[in-house]
Amino acid sequence: MAMKFFIFVIFIFSLFFYMIPVENINKYDSNDNIPLATFENALMYTFNDKNITRVVDAQKVVKYQNRDEMFDGDITLINHDISKNFKIENLKADFIVKMGDIYTFQNNVKYIRDDFVKFNTDFLIYDKIKRIAQNDRPFDGIYNNHYMKGTILYADLNNDFITSKNAHFEIDITKDNKGKKWNI
């Protein structure tokens, strides 16, 4: 009798649990998180009607619906505007996210413009259209052989305008333009 009761209880529980609807919980409901393409050791050139304007080199590139992610990326922007006094801008980082025309650089970020502007930081946002680089983290750099250090960087690269908060700027006053020593 006890065995019949036990089997009856198991049968009732199985019917009860059979009638409960099961939800499929999927964390990735949208297609934004599904990679469309993945490239290893990617090298991309951007051309206009006359010459090369940008070179992108990355160890790995993952293309999504609304963003691109690059690992160990190196972006070189080549200037062909003769009114500007530089030839090449180079941005490097361990991780780069591109959403539209906004680039977000993270971890070991290095910005180099020819040989007169260099920045090192851990985070940088770069707007490709407005050509503005900014961050809210500490940075250090060199501007025309002068050392600078600060916490919040804002660089308008169209107008060669750089500001920062808590800035420390060391000017090299040992040489003038002709390479002679100053009498201090």
pLDDT tens profile 26-42: 655 555 578 888 899 98
The model scores a pTM over 0.85:
no
In the predicted model, residues of the chain with pLDDT beneath 50 are: 177, 180-184
The pLDDT, as a whole number, for residue 70 is 93
Q: What is the pLDDT of residue 182?
A: 39
The predicted structure's pLDDT at residue 28: 57
Q: Alpha-carbon distance 124 to 153, whole Å? A: 9
pLDDT for 184? 34
**How confident is the model at residue 12, as a pLDDT?**
87
**Model confidence pLDDT, tens digit, residues 91-113:** 999 999 999 889 999 999 998 88
